[in-house]
Amino acid sequence: MRKITLTLLTYLIFFSPNVVMSEAMGYLVCREGLYYKKFSDVSFTEKITGGKQGAFKNGKKISD
């Protein structure tokens, strides 16, 4: 039981930051050439995952 718990905690520690720090392209909207999360006025600066992948900084796409 202890081994299973330790394994699960290890997976959570290593994989949780990747899930939390990324969004899917479907959750973004483009306004005046900049990308924002839906219902937000702050420009998007994170990675995206899903069918399309890449990264954004200050609302501008910086990589595919």
- Where in the chain are the domains? 22-64
For residue 34, what pLDDT is reported?
Answer: 92
State pLDDT tens for residues 9-41: 777 666 655 444 566 777 888 999 998 988 889
Beta-ladder partners of 48: 23, 54
pLDDT value at residue 18: 47
DSSP H helical ranges for the chain = 2-20
Torsion angles phi and psi, residue 20, rounded to 5:
-70, -35
Residue 25: strand, helix, or coil? helix
Give the SS3 label for residue 54. strand
For residue 54, what pLDDT is reported?
83
Structure confidence at residue 16 (pLDDT): 58
* pLDDT for residue 15: 63
In the predicted model, is pLDDT for residue 45 greater than 50?
yes
